[in-house]
Amino acid sequence: MSRYLSDDEQPPGLLVVVAVQAEAEAVLRGLKDDSWPVPVPGGELRRSEHAPGVPVDVLVGGVGPAAAAAATASVLAAYRYSLVVSAGIAGGFAPHAPIGSLVVAQEIVAADLGAETPEGFQDVAELGFGTVRHTPPLGAVTLASDALDAVSGSVLTVSTVTGSAERAAELTSRHPQAVAEAMEGFGVAEAAARYGIPAFEVRAVSNAVGPRDRAAWRIGEALAALERAFGALPYQELLQEVTRG
Ligand SMILES: O=C(O)c1cccc(C(=O)CC[C@H]2O[C@@H](n3cnc4c(=O)[nH]cnc43)[C@H](O)[C@@H]2O)c1
């Protein structure tokens, strides 16, 4: 008997979108990796049922907002979900999010989507062209932050990794609630919004946002934190929270 009902019959669950295979493996270890492959346009995702009746799908979407948006949208065209989660490693803004800590986004912000003007950077919302932020369901943010003992705040999506103290200061002056920087969250959230599905972002900090120092990276520590996160998330409560009317 199939443990996984057809898509029409099963309750829609969570889609977790990561950038690279190493992050997917950390998430699947957290889910006690009893997953199996499911075809999606362009490849496959891994499907598991971590909690009874709560399917969790894990997709490797690629690095950066465009790749993440395209990959997420192609899966949402094929399968139904109640929550879409952008997950992976991230840079943390000191002192809020030290290396090895977990972060949950209260808002997902496109931090470099806009224009340089004589008055300084203006984002596309300020220019009147669109949106630069998505707000995850507050109840889900609270549930996850409490369960993970995570820092919550603004998680910035950039297309260019910050590499100087000056750039980090610019970002925190524009986004005083910024706790982390990554490259996929806004793309994932944009795709989810096209399907009317709430988005969520959880990150494990691998490095400090600021001067480029790859020797200071702690990717292994961050991947271990990511594994812990996906072993500790209250999946059934999260789904109840986001599907409550
Ligand atoms: O070459 C560098 O100096 C460098 C510094 C930080 C990050 C990178 C990446 O290529 C990371 C891309 C990948 O990891 C996520 N990530 C992790 N730390 C950060 C960060 O500080 N800022 C932005 N993204 C980060 C990101 O989501 C990507 O998936 C290279």
pLDDT in tens, 49-69: 877 778 999 999 999 999 999
The encoded tokens of residue 98 equal 């030290």
Listing DSSP states for 124-135 in one string gives TTTTTS---EE-
Does any ligand 1 atom lie closer than 6 A to the CB of residue 21?
no
Share of the chain above pLDDT 90, in %: 89
Residue 21's pLDDT is 97
The confidence band for 9, taking pLDDT boundaries of 50, 70 and 90, is: low
| Average pLDDT value over all residues in the chain | 93
What's the pLDDT band for 33 if we cut at 50, 70, 90?
Answer: confident
Whole-angstrom distance, CA of residue 207 vs CA of residue 91: 5
User: pLDDT by residue (tens digit) across 93-103?
Assistant: 999 999 999 99
C-beta separation of 94 from 102 below 8 A: no
Q: Read off the pLDDT band of 231 (50, 70, 90).
A: very high
pLDDT of residue 222 exceeding 90, the answer is yes
* Angle, vertex CA 187, rays to CA 57 and CA 46, nearest 5: 15
The string of pLDDT tens digits covering residues 70-96 is 999 999 999 999 999 999 999 999 999
Domain ranges of the chain: 13-236
The minimum-distance atom of ligand 1 relative to the CA of 185 is 27
Question: What is the rounded distance in angstroms from the CA atom of residue 156 to the CA atom of residue 150?
Answer: 16
Q: Is the pLDDT of residue 191 over 70?
A: yes
Q: Percent helix, strand, coil in the chain (nearest 5)?
A: 30, 35, 35
Mutation test residue for ligand 1: of 89, 159, 161, 162, the one with most atoms within 8 Å of CB = 161
Beta-carbon neighbour count of residue 101 at 10 Å?
21
Return the half-sphere exposure (C-beta side, CA atoms, 13 A cut-off) of residue 214. Answer: 1
- The CATH fold assigned to 13-236 is Rossmann fold (3.40.50)
- Best of 86, 183, 223 for a ligand 1 pocket test (most atoms within 8 Å of beta carbon): 183
pLDDT at 117 over 90: yes
**CB neighbour list of residue 112: distance below 8 Å, 6 or more residues apart:** 121, 158, 159, 160
Q: Residue 1 — very low, low, confident or very high, per pLDDT cuts 50/70/90?
A: very low
**pLDDT value at position 42?**
83
One-letter amino acid at 133 equals R
Question: Residue 203 has what pLDDT?
Answer: 98
Residue 112 in contact with ligand 1 by CB distance below 6 A: no
Q: Is 18 in the pocket of ligand 1 (CB under 6 A)?
A: no
Tell me the percentage of the chain whose pLDDT exceeds 70.
Answer: 94
